[in-house]
Amino acid sequence: MATTPSSPREEVPQDRINPIVFYGSATGIVVFALWTMIFTEQASGVIFAVLGWISDTFGWFYFLSVVFYLVFVIAIGLSRFGKLRLGPAHSRPDFNMVTWAAMLFSAGIGIDLLFFCIAEPVAQFLAPPEGDPGTVAAARHAMELTFLHWGLSGWGIYTLVGMALGFFSYRHGLPLTIRSALYPVFGKRIKGGIGHTVDIAAVLGTVFGIATSLGIGIIQLNFGLNYMFDVPESTLTQAALAILIVVFSAISAVTGVDKGIRRLSEFNMLLALLLMLFVLFSGQTVFLLNALVMNVGDYLSNFLSLSFHTYAFDPPADWLNAWTVFFWAWWIAWGPFVGLFLARISRGRTLRQFVAGTLILPLTFMMAWMSIMGNSAIDMIMNDTAAVADFGEQAMNNPGSAIYLFLQGIPWVGLTTVVVTVLAIVFFVTSGDSGSLVLSNLTSVLTDPNHDAPSWMRILWAAIIGMLTLALLMAGGLEALQGAVVIMGLPFAVVLFLMMLGLFKALKVEGMKEDSLRHSMAGQLSARTTLGEGRGWRQRLVRAVSFPDHAQARRFLAEVGRPAMQQIREVLGEKGFSVEVVEGSGDGEHLALNVDLGGEQDFTYQIWPRRASMPAFTIRDTHAGSHYYRLEVHILEGGQGYDVYGYNVEQLIADILDQYEQHLQFLYSQRELPGGNAVMPDDPVKAGR
C-alpha cells in the first residue's frame, strides 16, 4: 500500500537507554570499585593472583592475537573492498584530514605518551628483558621495544574495531555498538542475550582501560604538582585530581564531538608537536635525527621477530606483565572505546583511507615523539649529562616523575614544565570526555548512528570512570591498574575475532553484489541501448542540458516517479509481492519503491532530489539562479551517482528493473554459495541519507 505524507505514520522511535547493558555494566563496576576501596588488601591479592594466571596461561594468545588483527585490517585495506565507504556510496568525510588526525591521535593515545615517552625507553635501557643493560645495543633494543608497544600492532586493534563499527552502522543502518559487527555471525539474535553480553564486555573493557590511563596520568600529574607547588603526593591529592578530571571531562563531553572534543584535540596536537620540536632543536639535533632514522629501520626490519618473541625458554614474567602482555591487553581494552570513537568521526571515508590513516598517521607521530624524547633521555644517562643525580634510576623507579626530571636537563625548564602539565590536563579531559561519550552511546539504543546519548549519561559515566580510577589507585597504584587491564582485556580479545569473522562475511556479500552487477550488465546494456533509441537523440540532448529548479524536480517526482513506481507495484502485487511506494517530505523529501522479499534482503529504489551548484559552462538567463536539482538514484548501498531527471515513465521503469534484476542476481549468487552466507540487514529509509 502506498504511503503518502498525509497517511498515518507509525510513532517515530526515540533514543533511549539500554537497561540491561547500562544497569548491568554500571552496577558491576560500582560494586567492584566499592569492594576495592573497602577491602583493599583482599582486592589487591585477587587482582594479582588472576593476573599471574592469565599471564602464564594466555600470554601467547595476546601475542598471536594482535598480529592477526593487524594482518586482517591491512589485507582488507589492500583488497578490492578497500574502495567501499564507511557509509552509503555517496557519503563523504565530515572532518578534514588535519582535524581527523588530531582527534584520533588525542583519543587513541593521550596522556600515556607523556607518561611513557621517558619512562619506557629508560626502563628498557637500564633493565632490559634480555641482554646487558646500559650498552649501545641496549639503547637500540630499548627503542625497538618502545616502538613495538606503541606502534602498528596496537593501532591495528583500533582500526579493526573502528572499521567494523563504521561499516555496519553507517553502511547498513545498525546501531553504533559492538554487537552490530556480529550481525553476519548471529543475525537478529544480537538484539538479545548475545548482543547484551558482547556490549557489556566492551563496556567493562573500556572502563578499565580508560581508568588505567587516567590513573597513570594522575600519578604523573600529582608528581608534577608536587614538583612545582609542593602539593603532597597522597591518595587524598589523587582523589581531588580525579574529581577535577571528572568535572572537566563531563563538561567537554556535553559540548559534543564537533565542539569540545574537536577543539581540545586540535589544541593538544599542536602543543605536543611544539614541545617535541623544542626538545629536538634545543638538544643534539643531528644525533636525534640520526637516531630516529636508525630506530625506524630497527623497528621495521625486526617487526616480525619482535611481534612473536614470547621469551619461551626463559620468560621474564614480571617484565612481560608490566610491559608487552600489559600493553597488548591495554590496547585491546581500549579497542571498543577508541574504535567506536574513530567510527564516529570517520563516516564517509573508504576502508582503504581509514586503514591507511589510522595506521600511518599516529605511527608517524609516535615514532618521532618516542625517538626524540626517549633518545634524549638515554643520551643523558649514557653521557652523564642529566641535571638530576641518578636520573635513570629515579625515572625507572618512579615513572610518574620521569618526564619532569628529564625536563630539568633541557633549557627553559619552567616553561616546559608548565607545557607538560597543561598537556597532561588536556589529555586527561580528551580521554575522559571521549570515554564518557562512547560509554553513553554503548549503553543506549540510538535511532541514528550520528546521534549521541543524553548529557546526563555522559556525566554519570564520567563519574563512574573517576570512581574506578581512584579505587584501583588505592588497591596498589600502577601495578593494580596494569593488572586490572590485563584481566579485562582477555574477554574482548575473543570478541575481536568474532568481529573479524562478521566483517569478513559482510564483505563477501559486498563482493557478490559487485559480481552480480557485472553478470547482469549485459542485459542492462541491452535495455539502455533500446532505451536510447526509443527516446531519440533530441530528447537525450535536451535532458543533458536541463537544470531543473526545486519545483520542476517535485513535478518530476509526481508526474514520472510516482506513476512508474505505482505501475511496478501493481504488477508485483498481482504476483503476490508486498510492495509499497513511500513519499518523504521536508528534509527527507524523496520517493521510494520498497519490495519485501521475505527472508532475503529486501529491494529498495529511491529518488532523492539533491541541490547542486549550477555549472559554470551553462548558458542560462539571469533568473535561473546559482543552483539546480539532480534527481539521484539510491539503493541500499547508497547513492549511485546518476541523475534520472528527463526520463519518461517507461524509461524510469526500465532503470528500476535494471536495479531490481541486479539485486535478484545478487540474491541468486548468495543462495548458490557453498555453505550459505551472511544475511545482511536492510533499512530502506537510511539508504538515502
Q: What is the DSSP track for 81-150?
A: GGG-BSS-TT---SS-HHHHHHHHHHHHTTHHHHHHHHHHHHHHHHS-SSS-TTSHHHHHHHHHHHHHHH
Quick one: cell of 386?
A: 642529566
Quick one: cell of 449?
A: 548512528
Question: Where a domain ends, among 481, 508, 535?
Answer: 508
Q: What is the mean pLDDT of residues 467-477?
A: 82
Q: What is the mean pLDDT of residues 319-326?
A: 91
- Residue pair 71/160 in contact (Cβ under 8 Å)? The answer is no
CA angle 637-356-100, nearest 5°?
A: 80
Look up the pTM and report it: 0.82
Lowest mean pLDDT among 28-37, 175-184, 659-668: 659-668
Within a domain: 18 = no
Residue 494 one-letter amino acid: V
Query: Which of 290-299, 341-350, 400-409: highest mean pLDDT?
Result: 290-299
- Residue pair 355/82 in contact (Cβ under 8 Å)? The answer is yes
Per DSSP, what are the bridge partners of residue 612? 628
Question: Where a domain ends, among 466, 481, 508?
Answer: 508
**Comparing C-alpha atoms, which of 133, 112, 100, 123 is closest to residue 369?**
112
Edge-to-edge strand list for the sheet holding 603-613: 578-584, 590-596, 603-613, 627-635, 638-643
Contacts of residue 224, Cβ cutoff 8 Å, sequence gap at least 6:
404, 417, 420, 421, 424
Task: Quickly state the pLDDT bin for 485 (edges 50, 70, 90).
Answer: confident
Task: Please report how many Cα atoms fall inside a 13 Å half-sphere around the Cα of residue 57, on the Cβ side.
Answer: 9
- Residue pair 118/373 in contact (Cβ under 8 Å)? The answer is yes
CA 511 to chain centroid: 23
Task: Quickly state the pLDDT bin for 176 (edges 50, 70, 90).
Answer: confident
Query: Which of 14-23, 418-427, 500-509, 585-594: highest mean pLDDT?
Result: 500-509
Q: At what angle do helices 324-345 and 97-108 cross, to 10 degrees?
A: 140
CA angle 142-148-153, nearest 5°?
A: 175
Angular region, 38: left φ>0, alpha ψ -120 to 50, beta rest = alpha
Higher pLDDT, 347 or 74: 74
**Comparing C-alpha atoms, which of 257, 227, 301 is closest to residue 103?**
257
Q: Is 255 exposed, middle or buried (0-12, 13-18, 19+ CB in 10 A)?
A: middle
Q: Which CA distances in Å does 258 have to 210, 269, 426, 427, 444? A: 21, 16, 17, 17, 20
- pLDDT of 382 > 90? The answer is yes
Same-domain status, 596 and 504: no
Number of domains in the chain: 2
Same-domain status, 454 and 368: yes
Q: Is 227 exposed, middle or buried (0-12, 13-18, 19+ CB in 10 A)?
A: middle
Within a domain: 62 = yes
Lowest mean pLDDT among 299-303, 316-320, 466-470: 466-470
Within a domain: 1 = no
Higher pLDDT, 19 or 522: 19
Q: State the Cα–Cα distance between residues 489 and 60, nearest whole angstrom.
A: 14
Within a domain: 119 = yes
Within a domain: 342 = yes
Pairing between strand 578-584 and 590-596?
antiparallel
Q: Which domain holds residue 203?
A: 23-126+133-508
Same-domain status, 110 and 149: yes
Q: State the Cα–Cα distance between residues 240 and 430, nearest whole angstrom.
A: 18
Same-domain status, 284 and 347: yes
Within a domain: 83 = yes
**Comparing C-alpha atoms, which of 306, 308, 320 is closest to residue 56?**
320
Q: What are 190-231's pLDDT values in tens digits?
A: 888 999 999 998 898 888 888 888 888 888 888 888 888 888
Within a domain: 374 = yes
Q: State the Cα–Cα distance between residues 278 and 418, nearest whole angstrom.
A: 14
- pLDDT of 668 > 90? The answer is no
Identify the pLDDT of residue 182: 92
Same-domain status, 299 and 397: yes
Q: State the Cα–Cα distance between residues 533 and 542, nearest whole angstrom.
A: 15
Same-domain status, 428 and 539: no
Q: What is the mean pLDDT of residues 305-324?
A: 92
Q: Domain with 112 in it: what CATH number?
A: 1.20.1740
Task: Quickly state the pLDDT bin for 138 (edges 50, 70, 90).
Answer: very high
DSSP at 286: H
Q: Which CA distances in Å does 196 have to 435, 492, 495, 497? A: 19, 13, 13, 17
Same-domain status, 504 and 524: no
CA 639 to chain centroid: 24
Same-domain status, 255 and 139: yes
Same-domain status, 607 and 536: yes
Same-domain status, 94 and 29: yes
Same-domain status, 348 and 406: yes
Identify the pLDDT of residue 292: 97
Q: What is the mean pLDDT of residues 530-536?
A: 50
Question: Where a domain ends, among 508, 530, 554?
Answer: 508
Same-domain status, 223 and 245: yes
Within a domain: 429 = yes
